[in-house]
Amino acid sequence: MERTLVLLKPDALQRGLIGRIITRFEEKGLKIIGLKMMKMPPALAKEHYAHLTSKPFYPGLEQFMTHNPIVAMCVEGVEAVEATRSIVGATNARKAGAGTIRGDFSMSTSRNVIHASDSLETAKKEVARFFREGELFAYPSVLNGYFYAEDELE
């Protein structure tokens, strides 16, 4: 099982999309094991987007991500990192595939409604950055045997 970090960005909240986006994760079978609303402090934005701080769009990105609350989510599943990136879609939402979250809900690269960790290594760091251990819940999922066959869970 992998865990990955998802952030519903301020545009998702303003546009009233958080319920529909969370539903997509539930329907897919990605298990939500952590969920909270928060206002991202600028220092956390700098850490989270450390690979982008030298880019010309960074000041706007930090302003946008910190100006209103976000919803942070930790989701769990077999190959959850890749599965999540694939339902999120391409960074430039105009090019994101139909049926993906960005493809269906956004027309922008900077107002693209959602963040998802890009690798297992990043996911481990990002989950720890946004959630304390006590904020993540390892509850049993009674439907596990319907979302996965046994050999997929080994």
Catalytic residues: 115
Q: Measured from the CB atom, is 15 or 141 closer to ligand UDP?
A: 15
- Residue 91 in the binding site for ligand UDP (CB under 6 A): yes
**Distance from C-alpha of 32 to C-alpha of 15, rounded to nearest angstrom:** 22
Category of 79 on φ-ψ map: left (φ > 0), alpha (ψ -120 to 50) or beta: left
- Residue 110 in the binding site for ligand UDP (CB under 6 A): yes
Per-residue binder mask for ligand UDP (CB under 6 A), 50-89, x = binder:
--x----x---x----------------------------
Q: Measured from the CB atom, is 48 or 146 closer to Mg ion?
A: 48
Shortest reach from residue 61's CB to ligand UDP, in Å = 5
- Residue 104 in the binding site for ligand UDP (CB under 6 A): no
CB atoms within 10 A of CB 107: 12
Q: How far is CA 102 from the centre of its chain?
A: 12
Length, in residues, of the chain = 154
CA atoms within 13 A on the CB side of 152: 11
DSSP classification of residue 9: -
Reading the block at residue 114, the tokens are 């959602």
With CB under 6 A, what is the number of residues at the site for ligand UDP?
Answer: 9
Residues near ligand UDP, by CB under 6 A? 52, 57, 61, 91, 109-110, 112, 115, 118
